[in-house]
């Protein structure tokens, strides 16, 4: 986003010299007559600079800027501001549908007789292909090459489409597959902390189409996840409408004890902040504990902001920021630019500086952190390592399972018995931890000691290592530790986000059969950030987040029903028991191997980042301005969103006699709503693909088919673990079609209602839409014909995405859902939509089968005037496209 020529009513524009080069910047000190700007949280200073730089008297006014300073009085605000991030980051699962929408907008522009070349990103956009590699092959030297070959084969059409986008759109770069996870690439290479454009310096800011975009907050870069819909609008020059947030200060003191990892720290922070309640708020870390906290540890904490519910988890720029920029091979001038600008503009943190003022604060002495895991199905459910065995026992008892059940299994890797609680997946994966050299090297050291003592991975454990960048491979090799990981089955399987997003691949067929036939509750242990139900693998019900060294330890133990602090992992060559404490690396050992991490590794691996390998370079590219859609494609299809764009807008209308599509409880995540993971052959999406001649073996994942609306709308609400109260809480994406009372898939019922022109609504409890920022959770909801979602509370991104797709989020009073005791046979009226305004009250009328009406006050969660404009236009992209068509 280029710096504009603002009104600059505060006369804040100044000049800064860096290495003899002169830059322009907007100095926050010019606002001190309004209040003590220096006491603002650093994250709000970044927002304030953004307003100062884009002041135009229209989208940003003098009073907007004054409202930011006035925040200090009550440390909260109801002021709406328009924020313009410098850039947009995408991964391929969420990026492909965004590029599909841009291509569809070009088609619509061309159909209207206009120049399609008018559609280009207005902000810098980087798309990193990192979510498509799957762990089909593992525990062998050939695993990486075999998985890459399958990835290129399965995704050829998608990659061909992205290569077209790379040449068709300016301001759009694609990082090819096999490079790394987008968040780690962002941290190690793309992020600049201080951006420069057209002679101006300003804070590096971004939004990303993955909720873990927040990882970059560890580098002093303000960024957070948005839906693909919102990101596309930002790409097209639309500001992000937001309320000035509350900022929760999280004060850190002390130091971590030896043997305690950054993973243990972030699980503790997540636990604390979830209990505090920080949804929709900024979290900013401060205090003397930051002085000894490495940047990789900060990035680990920032990464999991979605798990603790915050918009971001921000760390201000300080000396450690510069140290990391230098370690990761950034140029000297960039490092000097960051230091000079941050110090000149009040964005530099040190312990001698007065602490900012916050809405509320929490405190943590780092010395109190202990080894932990989180699970079995939520990242905020932390369990101290010594309590792991009892946590699994409680889980099995809760489900009425016999803990002593053993099932014999014969496989190509040997014969063994499988039990409840056995670990069938052990994966070192996910940006949360693979970007942190200390925990990765700790895993290598633990593996080395285990190999030396003769320990081996249990044969039923599917083990994998999916680093977030090639730099990790380089330093594991340089330290001599990769060979030990290899011996335990943690060979490289690919560079990308794998197990954490459900790309764990199949288990051995006999193991899958044993689990299904005996209804075994088995476990995974992964170094990821997500463990929601049905996400990691459809047959694995207990999923535990842990540090990389603990992942290795549980692969050796083979069971999650174990207290590793008391029970040995196995026996050495002499029959002597080997405990976790015998393998855990010391601080001295870790310090020695950390010397393998040098800036030369980063410079070498990122020198040619956009070129790709031979597979990528050989993909043919169409050179047209509009994409040549293939009508028989099952990966990339022209979506129907803009078919009526040339027709007059219809006013918003009240809902009358809407049918209830589903009634859900609390904590329905976007993993439940949006298609993710494996496509089941008997699902609506699976049946559709088979009708197109695609064999189940070639289904690939929902994520890889996000460019095909036919697949995605069929997969919406199709999660195998979702529970619809209309069916008594039965698992699976089904509902009751009320005209006949028959049970069918939610998709099939929605299509029947659509054929009769019956509007639909969905009811839910608290925290509706938590989880990854998934555009298809909103797109699919819209395409199914849902006009409103009524829930007791919404996750920030999903609420915004619903509005962006023309669906009204409606907030129910606490406890109303249970009080209504809906059966699904009722019809619903929603009155007040025809005169809707931000945050307005609506009347919810429930009409029972006898025609009796009960009315309840509810609140529309259309929060700003900008969102109102989007809703009236039919969605955010419709708004942008109509503005373009009206401009001529």
Is 283 in a helix, a strand, or coil?
Answer: strand
CATH class of 87-368: alpha beta
Phi-psi region of 46 (alpha: psi -120 to 50; beta: other; left: phi over 0): alpha
> What local confidence, expressed as pLDDT, does residue 500 receive?
83
Six-digit token string for 776:
């298809």
> What local confidence, expressed as pLDDT, does residue 1 receive?
52
- Distances in Å between the Cα of 216 and the Cα atoms of 709, 771, 828 are 31, 18, 44
Instruction: Tell me the CATH number of domain 655-672+759-886, given options 3.10.310.30, 3.10.580.20, 3.20.19.10, 3.40.50.300.
Output: 3.20.19.10
User: Are the CB atoms for 168 and 312 separated by under 8 Å?
Assistant: no
Token pair 């970007």 in the structure block, residue? 435
The angle at the Cα of 49, spanning 48 to 50, to the nearest 5 degrees, equals 90
Q: How far apart are the first and last CA of the chain?
A: 24
Report the C-alpha gap between 809 and 803 in whole angstroms.
Answer: 7
Report the C-alpha gap between 559 and 470 in whole angstroms.
Answer: 31
Picking from 23, 207, 214, the residue whose alpha carbon sits closest to that of residue 121 is 207
Phi, psi angles (nearest 5°) of residue 144: -60, -50
Picking from 515, 491, 551, 539, the residue whose alpha carbon sits closest to that of residue 411 is 515
> What local confidence, expressed as pLDDT, does residue 227 receive?
79
> What local confidence, expressed as pLDDT, does residue 172 receive?
95
Report the C-alpha gap between 436 and 209 in whole angstroms.
Answer: 22
User: Are the CB atoms for 671 and 750 separated by under 8 Å?
Assistant: no
User: Are the CB atoms for 706 and 712 separated by under 8 Å?
Assistant: yes
Mean pLDDT per block of 10 residues along the chain (888 residues) reads 72 97 97 96 98 92 96 95 95 88 93 90 94 91 93 90 94 94 96 96 95 96 89 87 94 96 96 94 97 96 94 98 98 98 97 94 98 94 96 89 86 92 95 92 98 97 96 96 98 91 90 95 94 88 96 98 96 96 97 95 94 90 92 92 87 96 94 85 95 91 89 94 93 94 97 97 95 81 97 89 94 97 96 94 96 97 90 92 83
Six-digit token string for 118:
């008018």
CATH 3.30.499.10 positions along the chain are 87-368, 375-606
CATH 3.20.19.10 positions along the chain are 655-672+759-886
Report the C-alpha gap between 648 and 191 in whole angstroms.
Answer: 43
- Distances in Å between the Cα of 10 and the Cα atoms of 201, 227, 663, 806 are 18, 34, 52, 38
Distance of CA 271 to the CA centre of its chain: 18
> What local confidence, expressed as pLDDT, does residue 430 receive?
86
> What local confidence, expressed as pLDDT, does residue 888 receive?
65
> What local confidence, expressed as pLDDT, does residue 154 receive?
86
Helix-then-strand count for the chain, H and E? 32, 36
DSSP class of residue 413 equals T
The H-or-E segment that residue 327 falls in is helix 319-327
377 contacts: CB under 8 Å, gap ≥ 6:
531, 532, 533, 541, 542, 543
What is the CATH number that goes with domain 375-606? 3.30.499.10
């Amino acid at each position: 986003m280029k710096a504009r020529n603002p009104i600059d009513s505060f006369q804040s524009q100044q000049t800064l010299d860096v290495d003899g080069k002169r830059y322009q910047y907007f100095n926050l000190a010019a606002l001190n007559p309004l209040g003590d700007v220096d006491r603002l949280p650093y994250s709000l200073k970044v927002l304030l600079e953004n307003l100062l730089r884009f002041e135009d008297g229209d989208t940003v006014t003098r009073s907007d800027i004054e409202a930011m300073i006035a925040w200090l009085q009550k440390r909260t605000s109801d002021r709406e501001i328009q924020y313009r991030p410098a850039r947009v980051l995408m991964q391929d699962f969420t990026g492909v549908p965004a590029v599909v929408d841009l291509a569809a907008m070009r088609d619509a522009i061309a159909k209207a007789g206009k120049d399609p070349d008018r559609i280009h990103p207005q902000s810098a956009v980087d798309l990193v292909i990192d979510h498509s590699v799957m762990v089909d092959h593992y525990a062998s030297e050939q695993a990486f090459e075999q998985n890459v070959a399958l990835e290129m084969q399965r995704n050829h059409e998608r990659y061909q489409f992205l290569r077209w986008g790379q040449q068709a759109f300016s301001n759009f770069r694609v990082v090819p597959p096999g490079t790394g996870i987008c968040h780690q690439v962002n941290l190690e290479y793309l992020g600049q902390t201080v951006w420069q454009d057209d002679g101006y310096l300003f804070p590096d800011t971004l939004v990303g189409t993955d909720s873990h975009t927040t990882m970059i907050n560890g580098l002093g870069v303000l960024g957070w996840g948005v839906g693909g819909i919102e990101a596309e609008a930002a790409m097209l020059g639309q500001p992000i409408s937001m309320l000035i947030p509350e900022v929760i200060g999280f004060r850190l003191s002390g130091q971590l004890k030896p043997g305690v990892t950054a993973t243990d720290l972030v699980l503790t922070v997540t636990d604390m902040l979830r209990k505090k309640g920080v949804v929709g708020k900024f979290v900013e870390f401060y205090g003397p504990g930051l002085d000894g906290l490495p940047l990789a540890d900060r990035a680990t904490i920032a990464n999991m902001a979605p798990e603790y519910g915050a918009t971001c988890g921000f760390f201000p720029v300080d000396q450690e920021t510069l140290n990391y920029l230098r370690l990761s091979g950034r140029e000297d001038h960039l490092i000097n630019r960051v230091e000079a600008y941050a110090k000149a503009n009040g964005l530099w943190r040190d312990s001698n500086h007065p602490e900012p003022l916050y809405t509320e604060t929490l405190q943590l002495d780092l010395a109190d952190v202990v080894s932990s895991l989180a699970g079995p199905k939520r990242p905020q459910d932390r369990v101290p390592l010594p309590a792991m065995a009892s946590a699994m026992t409680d889980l099995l008892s809760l489900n009425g399972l016999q803990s002593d059940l053993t099932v014999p299994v014969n496989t190509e890797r040997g014969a063994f018995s499988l039990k409840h609680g056995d670990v069938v997946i052990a994966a070192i994966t996910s940006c949360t931890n693979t970007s942190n050299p200390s925990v990765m090297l700790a895993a290598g050291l633990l593996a080395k000691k285990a190999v030396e003592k003769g320990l081996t991975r249990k044969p039923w454990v599917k083990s994998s290592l999916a680093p977030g960048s090639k730099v990790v491979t380089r330093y594991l090799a340089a330290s001599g530790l990769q060979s030990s990981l290899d011996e335990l089955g943690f060979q490289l399987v690919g560079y990308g986000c794998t197990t954490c997003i459900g790309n764990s691949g199949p288990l051995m067929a006999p193991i899958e059969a044993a689990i299904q036939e005996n209804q075994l509750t088995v476990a995974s242990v992964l170094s990821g950030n997500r463990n929601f139900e049905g996400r990691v693998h459809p047959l694995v019900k207990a999923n535990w987040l842990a540090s990389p060294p603990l992942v290795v330890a549980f692969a050796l133990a083979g069971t999650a029903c174990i207290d590793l602090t008391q029970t040995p992992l196995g026996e050495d060559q002499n029959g002597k028991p080997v405990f976790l404490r015998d393998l855990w690396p010391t601080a001295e050992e870790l310090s020695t191997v950390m010397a393998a991490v040098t800036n030369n590794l980063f410079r070498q691996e990122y020198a040619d980042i956009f070129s790709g390998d031979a597979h990528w370079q050989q993909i043919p590219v169409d050179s047209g301005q509009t994409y040549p859609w293939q009508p028989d494609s099952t990966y990339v299809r022209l979506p129907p969103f803009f078919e009526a764009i040339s027709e007059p807008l219809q006013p918003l209308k009240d809902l009358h006699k809407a049918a209830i599509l589903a009634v859900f409880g609390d904590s329905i995540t976007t993993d439940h709503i949006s298609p993710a993971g494996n496509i089941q052959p008997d699902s609506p999406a699976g049946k559709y693909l088979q009708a197109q001649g695609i064999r189940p073996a070639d289904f690939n994942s929902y994520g890889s088919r996000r460019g095909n609306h036919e697949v995605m709308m069929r997969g919406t609400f199709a999660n195998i673990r979702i529970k619809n109260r209309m069916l008594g809480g039965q698992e699976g994406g089904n509902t009751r079609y009320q005209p006949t009372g028959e049970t069918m898939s939610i998709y099939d019922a929605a299509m029947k209602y659509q054929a009769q022109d019956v509007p639909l609504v969905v009811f839910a409890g608290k925290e509706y839409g938590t989880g990854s920022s998934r555009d298809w959770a909103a797109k699919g909801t819209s395409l199914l014909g849902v006009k409103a979602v009524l829930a007791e509370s919404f996750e920030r991104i999903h609420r915004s995405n619903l509005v962006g797709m023309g669906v009204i989020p409606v907030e129910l009073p606490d406890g109303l859902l249970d009080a209504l005791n809906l059966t699904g046979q009722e019809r619903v009226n929603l009155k007040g939509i025809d005169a809707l305004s931000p945050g307005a009250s609506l009347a919810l009328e429930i009409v029972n089968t006898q025609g009796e009406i009960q009315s309840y006050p509810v609140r529309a969660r259309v929060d700003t005037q900008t969102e109102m404009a989007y809703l009236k236009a039919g969605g955010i992209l419709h708004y942008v496209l109509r503005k373009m068509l009206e401009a001529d």
